[in-house]
């Protein structure tokens, strides 16, 4: 790619009205960085043949998932409990979120309007930066469940929003 030319990142949010798309969009609007192209859908087929950089799958969408040919992405962000779904999507790599110590992005604690999440291992962003293992104490918006919030934070981190930016919001 020529110097000074930026490729637009394509992000799909596969959810069942759990607030992930709204949370990610709101966080990006509050920042000063370029937006990725964001697409939202309720069914896997809506993402077929799109060649996404990132496909984030919500807990509800994963629970109701039906195999759908043609869904491709560079990175698949999904609940750790949805491991079999990772075999149904043509992804270069997968990142899990949830409450298991095996998940990459986990919930450490939740108290009032703050959530503490942990990166259990290194996380490589879509632009190739490496985020080290760490804990992040973040504001937790009212009305959102912790699992979709983990997915939203995962999308933000993978698309290049720094931990420092997230903690400052």
| 129 located within any domain | yes
Say how far apart CA 35 and CA 29 lie, in whole Å: 8
Say how far apart CA 76 and CA 89 lie, in whole Å: 8
Domain containing residue 94: 10-167
Q: What is the pLDDT along the chain (169 residues), one digit of tens a residue?
A: 445 445 678 999 999 999 999 999 988 887 766 778 899 999 888 998 888 999 999 999 988 877 666 788 999 999 998 878 888 888 999 999 999 999 999 999 988 889 899 999 999 999 999 999 999 999 887 777 899 999 999 999 999 998 888 877 5
| 4 located within any domain | no
Pairing between β-strand 130-131 and β-strand 134-139 as defined by DSSP bridges: unpaired
Handedness of CA 81, 156, 42, 115 (dihedral sign): positive
Q: Answer whether 0.85 is exceeded by the pTM.
A: yes
Tokens 């942990």 belong to residue: 118
Report pLDDT for 5: 46
| 3 located within any domain | no
Report pLDDT for 139: 87
Report pLDDT for 7: 67
Report pLDDT for 41: 92
| 66 located within any domain | yes
Report pLDDT for 90: 87
Report pLDDT for 154: 97
Phi/psi of residue 141, nearest 5 degrees = -70, 140
Question: What CATH number has the domain bearing residue 97?
Answer: 3.40.1190.10
Number of domains in the chain: 1
Q: Are 124 and 130 in contact (CB under 8 A)?
A: yes
| 5 located within any domain | no
Report pLDDT for 135: 94
């Amino acid at each position: 790619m020529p110097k000074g030319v930026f490729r637009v990142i394509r992000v799909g949010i596969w959810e069942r009205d759990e607030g992930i798309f709204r949370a990610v969009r709101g966080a990006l609007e509050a920042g000063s960085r370029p937006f990725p192209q964001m697409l939202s859908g309720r069914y896997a087929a809506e993402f077929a043949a799109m060649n996404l950089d990132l496909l984030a799958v919500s807990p509800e969408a994963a629970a109701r998932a039906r195999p759908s040919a043609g869904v491709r992405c560079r990175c698949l962000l999904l609940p750790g409990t949805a491991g079999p779904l990772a075999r149904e999507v043509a992804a270069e790599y997968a990142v899990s979120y949830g409450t298991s110590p095996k998940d990459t992005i986990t919930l450490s604690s939740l108290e009032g309007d703050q959530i503490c999440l942990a990166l259990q291992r290194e996380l490589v962003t879509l632009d190739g930066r490496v985020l080290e293992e760490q804990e992040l104490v973040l504001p937790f918006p009212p009305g959102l469940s912790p699992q979709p919030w983990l997915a939203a934070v995962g999308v933000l981190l993978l698309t290049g929003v720094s931990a420092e930016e997230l903690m400052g919001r």
